[in-house]
Amino acid sequence: MLRRVRDGRPLILLLVACLLSAGALADNLVRRNIAYGAEDEQRFDVYAPEQARRAPVIFLVPDGGGSNGDKDARRVLENKLGRWLPRGFAVVTVNYRAAPKAGPYEQARDVALALAKAQEMADNWGGDRKRFILIGHSAGAHLIALLASTPRLSTDLQTAPWLGSILLDSGTLDVPGIMTGRHFKLYDEAFGSDPNYWQATSPYHQLDRRTAPILAVCSTQRPESCPQAQRFVAKAESFGTRAAVLAQDLSHREISLSLGGESRYTAAIEAFMRGLDKGVAAALR
């Protein structure tokens, strides 16, 4: 049976009903709009197997193009929930404050706050706080990479180390490199004009130590995607991090939407996940 927490938002309940009709959430627990801060955008959702016990947790940070993302996006979630819930994983989906209310550094802090809260509550829904895998797409991938490369964003929050980070086609691993060349206007809106802020929000420039394993997925259809990923991974490896690039002939959007579908791409992601933890490997057999 599905258990739901009422939050008074008819559109949210309608979404859950749509997912249920597809069978994606049958026999699973759903908790919606859990607050990790005072702002309306500082919320996350939890999906977990009903009888989960010490389940590995996929912590999903969506794209937002510098805005707050959409943790409820049905097309983003359906493949992932349909793939990983039946295999015993819990899935947490995160929203964060929108630009211009919060810039990328502040948004990464939001992700850190959400991670700390989700780890703190993991026992309540059968998750294991020490077995989180972080996955982000586009702007979400940038925030995860920044969190991984900038420990001060989370050291005061007592977050447990996570198993690994999966970056789905981040376009801003080297922020100064982007901002000093030809770039989309949305980058100006997100990162502003201060070179010091560019440096502070650049995962490549902040990375100065070993981190949890990293898989950087990049689209070969975007000229700068894979070169950035390769430079970031090479620097991570120089500090002893287990890191790899996974280049895919998929569009930026397809890299997120198709993950979880039956494909060689999903299999490659899961091969990386198996190497993170024996329990994860057992669930993915």
pLDDT digits (tens, 9 = 90+) for 52-89: 999 999 999 998 754 445 777 788 899 999 999 999 99
Which one-letter DSSP state was computed for residue 175? H
How many domains are contained in the chain?
Answer: 1
pLDDT of residue 58: 98
Say if strands 214-219 and 127-137 run parallel, antiparallel, or are unpaired: unpaired
Residue 64 lies in a domain: yes
Please state, in angstroms and as integers, the Cα–Cα distance from residue 159 to each residue in 68, 147, 153, 208, following that order: 22, 11, 10, 19
> Is residue 143 pLDDT above 80, yes or no?
yes
Q: What is the pLDDT of residues 162-184, one digit of tens each?
A: 999 999 999 899 999 999 999 98
pTM of this prediction exceeds 0.75: yes
Q: What are the backbone angles phi and psi of residue 46, rounded to the nearest 5°?
A: -125, 135
Q: What is the pLDDT of residues 207-248, one digit of tens each?
A: 999 999 999 999 999 999 999 999 999 999 999 999 999 999
Q: What is the pLDDT of residues 1-52, one digit of tens each?
A: 344 443 433 344 344 445 443 455 667 899 999 999 999 999 999 999 988 9
Residue in the structure block whose two tokens are 């919320």: 43
Residue in the structure block whose two tokens are 């989906």: 93
Q: What is the pLDDT of residues 206-216, one digit of tens each?
A: 999 999 999 99
Residue 105 lies in a domain: yes
Q: What is the pLDDT of residues 90-104, one digit of tens each?
A: 999 999 998 888 999
Residue 199 lies in a domain: yes
The structure tokens listed for 156 are: 């005061």
Residue 4 lies in a domain: no
Q: Could you tell me the CATH number of the domain that includes residue 230?
A: 3.40.50.1820
pLDDT of residue 76: 86
What lies within 8 Å, CB to CB, of 119 at 6+ separation is 129, 132, 159, 160
Residue 59 lies in a domain: yes
Residue 5 lies in a domain: no
- What is the three-state SS of 45-60? EEEEECCCCCEEEEEE
User: The domain containing residue 252 runs over which residues?
Assistant: 10-283
pLDDT of residue 218: 98
Please state, in angstroms and as integers, the Cα–Cα distance from residue 190 to each residue in 5, 98, 183, 219, following that order: 34, 10, 12, 22
Residue 2 lies in a domain: no
Percent of the chain with pLDDT over 90: 79
Residue pair 47/32 in contact (Cβ under 8 Å)? The answer is no
Side chain identity at residue 259, one-letter code = L
pLDDT of residue 24: 53
Please state whether 54 falls in left (phi above 0), alpha (psi between -120 and 50) or beta. left
Residue 131 lies in a domain: yes
